[in-house]
Amino acid sequence: MERLLSGRRFQLVLQNIDYAVFLLDSGGIVRAWAPGAEHILGYAADDILGRHFSVFYPAAEAETGKPARVLVEATAAGRHEEEGWRIRRDGSRFWANVVVTALRDDDGGLRGFVKVTRDRTERKQQDERLRSALEIAQATLAGRDDAELLRLIVVRARELVDADLAAIALEDPTGRELVVQVAEGPLAEEFQGARLPAGDAPAGLGAVVSTVLGSGDHRLGALIVGNRPGGRPLTDAERAIIELQAAQAAVAMDYRRTRDELQRLAIVKDRERIGRELHDGAIQSLFAVGMGLQGMAMLTPDATLRERLEGAVTQIDEVIRDLRGYIFGLRPGAVADRQPGLALDALAHQLEERHGVACAVDVDAATASRLAGRAAEVLQVAREALANVGRHAEAATCRLSLRSRDDQAVLVIEDDGRGFVPESASGTGWGLRNLSERAAALGGSLEITSVPGEGTTVTLRVPL
């Protein structure tokens, strides 16, 4: 071994500054150390000589005996090559290409090993960034829901820099706070749902990078990546990776928002067409029929017939009012010109004005604001449920509330009317199937509870 170490050829190898080159004895103890090895692995010769080379492996791999298996394979085959994560003296990791070559004496006896380690982190990170970008792009184009997409973004962000935490926090309706929507890593449970002052780094982390998610002047929130207090610092290269990941996340979120807006506009256009057809066709025809019946009522001398004709005219008037109400809901101005909370107030006022049912309204402004993109659909559910109260419930009072609970918007409409048996109401004019279909279209659920003589409660739950 001593003669090998003093050989001129080996000495030239030890001077190679591009690779970590060092010599192990047959048991895996470091016996010679090149300057390039210190540059890559962070150990000076005095710090590493005499120690087992398993210190370069992640703890999990060292505990399972991988270093020993590498030496066994190199001994049997003469050479072993692999790639994997290795650990520097400061605790940071890098992606290494490792070649272990067995050294034998003239008689074939094992004298030790030469180990050459190359830092391939940059290539690895490029591959991982491309893979992450492709996966996020595919998920975005496939129409994955927001929760799934955000989860994918934070998982990939944490993996790329091996951090203890990656999280996405979105602005609350006030714009003064960020709310952590999804978190990943050992610290995830501590930060999930946390509220953070906008623009401030979260407390409870050591090294942390908080990068704005947004485009131009439009801010969506922040991508937060960090390590526990006392953990390793994030390198400049890792910070750059996090910023790129945040930029890609913002693009994905903007794409989803733009796509949803285009879908909304397409629906609005179709609703405008339906509204025009109802107004110009059905309503005008009904109005003409009503005028004709009213004229007949004025001409007939039969009091009973006159009463029946006037009743029919009244029913036609009610149908026309209902159709105009539906047209109002189909038009985008019904939502665009009002906040969702104000629109719900207007629906409650219509119920009281038309049917004499007093309706109390309790709307959480923050929840209503978060539903703004789906306000038209939510209002249609509220409209139909309230219409059922007015037509069928024979109620004196009604209560409408909109609150958030367990990451869901919960719309509740309850009355003190005559109630019914939900299982036997299908096809009787209550429109329950239509309500359920609207709830499903929102990605939510509808629950109807009712007891004859004790009123009815309609509950719509929509994910936020």
Q: What is the pLDDT of residues 242-298, one digit of tens each?
A: 888 888 778 777 777 777 666 666 666 766 677 666 666 676 777 777 777 777 777
Across the range 427-441, mean pLDDT stands at: 70
* Cα(381)–Cα(402) distance, integer angstroms: 12
What does the pLDDT read at residue 310?
Answer: 81
Highest mean pLDDT of the ranges 5-9, 324-328, 395-399: 395-399
pLDDT at res. 333: 47
Fold match between domain 2-119 and domain 339-464: no
Residues 120, 49, 108: CA angle, nearest 5 degrees: 85
Stronger pLDDT, 315 or 332, i.e. the higher one = 315
113-166: pLDDT as tens digits: 999 999 998 888 788 888 888 888 888 777 777 778 888 888 988 888 888 899
Among 83-92, 138-147, 163-172, which is the least confidently predicted range? 138-147
CA atoms lying within 13 Å on the CB side of residue 279: 14
Q: In this structure, how many other beta carbons lie within 10 angstroms of the beta carbon of residue 131? A: 12
- Which residue has better confidence, 248 or 12? 248
Mean of pLDDT values over 429-439: 72
Of 6-15, 156-165, 395-404, least confident by mean pLDDT is: 6-15
How far is Cα of residue 461 from the mean position of the Cα atoms in its chain? 18
124-258 adopts what CATH topology? Beta-Lactamase (3.30.450)
Q: How much is the pLDDT for 9?
A: 53
The pLDDT of residue 429: 46
Phi then psi dihedrals of residue 422, to 5 deg: -55, -35
Q: Residue 426 — pLDDT band, cuts 50, 70, 90?
A: low
Closest CA to 300 of 288, 310, 285: 310
Question: The tokens of 446 are what?
Answer: 């509808």
- Among 229-243, 249-263, 360-374, 385-399, the minimum mean pLDDT is found in 249-263
For residue 17, what pLDDT band results from cuts at 50, 70 and 90? low
**Average pLDDT, stretch 340-345?**
82
- 419-426: average pLDDT: 74
Residues in the chain, how many? 464
Task: Report the percent of the chain where pLDDT is more than 90.
Answer: 26
Lowest mean pLDDT among 120-124, 170-174, 332-336, 352-356: 332-336
Percent over 70 (pLDDT), the chain: 83
The more confidently predicted of residues 42 and 281 is 42
Find which of 167-176, 178-187, 330-339 is predicted with most confidence, using mean pLDDT: 178-187
CA distances from 171 to 38, 55, 109, 179, 259 (A): 46, 44, 67, 6, 21
Query: What is the pTM for the complete model shown?
Result: 0.50
pLDDT confidence of residue 24: 94
- Determine the Cα–Cα distance for residues 139 and 370; give it in Å rounded to an integer: 23
Please tell me the predicted confidence (pLDDT) of residue 6: 42
Instruction: Measure the CA–CA gap between 131 and 125, rounded to whole angstroms.
Output: 10
Q: Which residues contact 438 (CB under 8 A, 6 or more apart)?
A: 377, 380, 381, 384, 446
Q: Of 293, 326, 319, which Cα lies nearest the Cα of 308?
A: 293
In this structure, are residues 5 and 31 in contact, taking their beta carbons and an 8 Å threshold? yes
Q: Give the model's pLDDT for residue 86.
A: 94
How sure is the predictor about 54, in pLDDT bands with cuts at 50, 70 and 90?
Answer: very high
| Cβ atoms 42, 235 nearer than 8 A | no
Domain residue extents for the chain: 2-119, 124-258, 339-464
The confidence band for 100, taking pLDDT boundaries of 50, 70 and 90, is very high
Residue that wins the pLDDT comparison between 431 and 303: 303
Give how far Cα 366 sits from Cα of 171, 286, 375, 379, 381, Å.
Answer: 11, 42, 13, 16, 19
How would you classify the pairing of strands 397-405 and 358-363?
Answer: parallel
10 vs 267: which has the higher pLDDT: 267
Residue 335's pLDDT band (cuts 50, 70, 90): very low
- In the three-class reduction of DSSP (H, G, I as helix; E, B as strand; rest coil), residue 160 is classed as helix
Q: 345 and 363 in contact (C-beta within 8 Å)?
A: yes
Structure tokens at 421: 């048996």
**Confidence (pLDDT) at 375:** 78
Element (H, E) at 84: strand 79-87
Residue with tokens 């109807």: 448
Q: Is the model's pLDDT at 33 over the cut of 80?
A: yes
Average pLDDT over the chain, rounded to whole? 81
| Number of Cβ within a 10 Å radius of residue 16 | 14
pLDDT at 71 over 60: yes
Question: Is 254:215 a contact under the CB 8 Å cutoff?
Answer: yes
Q: Which range has the top average pLDDT, 51-55, 103-107, 246-250, 379-383?
A: 51-55
Query: In the prediction, which pLDDT does 35 show?
Result: 73
Q: Where are the beta strands (DSSP E) in 201-251?
A: 208-215, 218-226
Residue 101's DSSP bridge partners are: 79, 114
How far apart (Å, rounded) are the C-alpha atoms in residues 16 and 14? 5
More confident residue, 256 or 25: 25
Is residue 61 classed as helix, strand or coil in its secondary structure?
helix
Instruction: Give me the CATH topology for the region 2-119.
Output: Beta-Lactamase (3.30.450)
Cα–Cα distance measured from residue 389 to residue 347, given in angstroms and rounded to the nearest whole number: 12
| Closest by Cα among 157, 148, 162, 259 to 210 | 157
Supply the CATH classification number for the domain 339-464: 3.30.565.10
If you count DSSP H runs as helices and E runs as strands, how many of each does the chain have, helices first? 17, 15
Residue 363, C-beta contacts closer than 8 angstroms, at least 6 positions apart: 340, 341, 344, 345, 400, 401, 402
Label residue 96 by pLDDT band (50, 70, 90): very high
